Structure formats: structure tokens, C-alpha cells
Amino acid sequence: MDSPIIPSAISLLAVIVSLASVLISYRNQRRTLTTTRAVAWASKEADYRRSQIDSLREELSEFCLLVSDVQGRFAAAKLDKKFFPRNTDDQIIQHKAEYLYQKILMRLNPKYPLQANLLAKIKALRDDEEYRWIEYRDDIVSSARTLFEDLWNSIELEHENRE
């Protein structure tokens, strides 16, 4: 006499084990997907910030170069009026320097001390009437390095926190 209860119990146990396996697999898949999304988002955000830092670095270097060029032309004009910038190339350089200045102002937030410090030094370079642009440029480079280091550290810290 075979009892039908034993095969039924074994079948029921197999169904329960299968359902538990499916639920555990689903839960693990959701965790993996959530982690993958978080890492992908952090990577995208880090890439975006890196590109912003790189473009700000380029704008700062070009701005410093143009301002020194403009100031050099006006210094020469003070010595001799015939050197006064009058042609379109001079005007283009002046406008480009002003454009970069405005662009940099829009990128930096004066609420943050490192960015406010850099903004102050950029304004000092732009408004320099004593022709100390090399000194101001060096101040900008130093402040920018500190700011960039802080921004890079914040990117790395956010990336570590998301992992």
C-alpha cells in the first residue's frame, strides 16, 4: 500500500522551494539592478563634472591670456597714442575676453568660499590698472588649483559613498 501523501508532500515541498528560489532570485536581481543604476548615475555625474571642470580650466587660461594681451596693448597705447587698439582684431580680442569673463562668472557661485575667492581674483585681473597682471594671473592659477582639487575630491567622495 502506497500512501499518496508522501509524493504529494514531496511535490508541495518542491513547489515551495521553487517559489522561494524565484523570490530570492528576483530580490537579488532588483538589488543588482539598483546598484548598477546608482553606479551608472554616479559615473555619468562624475563625467559631467569632469567636463565642466575641464572647460572652466580652458576658459580661465584663455581669459588670462586675452586679458594680458589687452592690457599689454593698452599699456603700449599709454606710452604712444599710435598704438591705441583701433582695428577689429583688437576689438574682437576685447569682446572675447569680456565674453569669457561673463561665462566664468556664470559658472562660479560666490556662495562657496573657494569659488568666491577665485571670482575676486578674476575681477582683480580684469580691473587691473596697475599692470600687475602676472601677479593676478598667478593668484588665479593658485586659487583655481585649490578649487579644482576640492571639486575633484567631492567627485571622488560622492563616488565612494554610492558604492
pLDDT of residue 28: 83
Task: Give CA torsion, residues 22, 27, 29, 33, to 10 deg.
Answer: 160
pLDDT of residue 85: 62
pLDDT of residue 161: 65
Q: Which amino acid is at 35?
A: T
In the chain, what percentage of residues exceed pLDDT 90? Answer: 0
pLDDT of residue 160: 67
pLDDT of residue 133: 67
pLDDT of residue 163: 57
Q: From the centroid of its chain, how far is CA 83?
A: 40
In terms of pLDDT, which residue wins out, 37 or 163? 37
Q: What is the pTM of this model?
A: 0.60
Q: Is a pLDDT exceeding 70 seen at residue 131? A: no
Domain boundaries, the chain: 49-162
Which three three-digit cell numbers place residue 20?
522561494
Question: Tens of pLDDT along 70-121?
Answer: 777 777 777 776 666 666 777 788 888 888 888 888 888 888 888 888 888 8
